[in-house]
Amino acid sequence: MHFFNLHTHKATNQANILELVNQYPQEFDATIPFYSIGIHPWFIVEERLESDLALLKRKAQQRNCLAIGECGLDKRIEIPLTLQQFVFEKQLLLAQKYSKPVVIHCVAAFQELIAIKKKMNISVPLLIHGFSKNEQVAKQLIENGFYISFGKYLLLNPELETVFKTIPNNRIFLETDTVEAGIEAVYELAAKYKGISVQELQEVVHRNFLEVFKIEL
């Protein structure tokens, strides 16, 4: 059984791990086997937006592009939220058009995120990466059809155990993001919190992977 890493910025190319490597349009690496590609709210450049979206559209049609993202909303940066929302919605439309799940970066904008999903009637799977918030936010996301991925903050913040335990197994993904720890360490801790074996957790994530990405590991 493979480990699936929903979101990483660094490919390790290990045979027993399927990694969804985050890519940006202006730094695309064609040698990466499976990737997500998106315009992160931190890196929106208006002068380059047209060409970035054009490249995103081309790459979204490739078989080894498994998802759009990471993209989303971040209220703690200086880029205007209206511009962020415009760029995010453009990417959601691409995801809908090419039936790609979306890996989402969201900081202090979960209500806006839920509102956009409803307004645009988005039907492709939406996955919140690097979740670190409380049980109430998690519950709202689950009720609105989102998947939630845990990784860095699960390792760093013991208080997330309580939140993680409340997430239904059919909505869970795991990731490393930018941490040095391997995905195995995330699975070990997550399995401990859930009171199941690592192998059982691998099977849980595998089922979720098939449901969301529609391909075999």
C-alpha span between 124 and 90 (Å, rounded): 14
C-alpha span between 217 and 22 (Å, rounded): 18
In the numeric block, which tokens belong to residue 72?
């989303």
pLDDT bucket at 215, cuts 50 / 70 / 90: confident
Q: What is the dihedral of CA 166, 111, 65, 16, to 10 degrees?
A: -20
Q: Is 70 annotated as a binding residue?
A: yes
Q: Is 29 annotated as a binding residue?
A: no
Residue extents of the structural domains in the chain: 3-213
> φ and ψ at 3, to 5 degrees?
-90, 140
pLDDT bucket at 216, cuts 50 / 70 / 90: confident
| Interior angle at CA 186, CA 201 and CA 11, nearest 5 | 110
Is residue 217 scored above 70 in pLDDT? Answer: no
69: three-class secondary structure by DSSP: strand
Q: Is 52 annotated as a binding residue?
A: no
| Burial tier of 167 (Cβ tally within 10 Å: 0-12, 13-18, 19+) | buried
What topology is assigned to 3-213 in CATH? TIM Barrel (3.20.20)
H or E segment to which residue 102 belongs: strand 102-107
Is residue 91 scored above 70 in pLDDT? Answer: yes
* Mean of all residue pLDDT scores within the chain: 96
pLDDT for position 108: 97
Q: Yes or no: say if 148 and 173 are a contact pair by the CB < 8 Å rule.
A: yes
50: three-class secondary structure by DSSP: helix
In the numeric block, which tokens belong to residue 53?
């979206």
pLDDT for position 98: 97
Q: Is 129 annotated as a binding residue?
A: yes
C-alpha span between 135 and 160 (Å, rounded): 9
pLDDT bucket at 1, cuts 50 / 70 / 90: confident
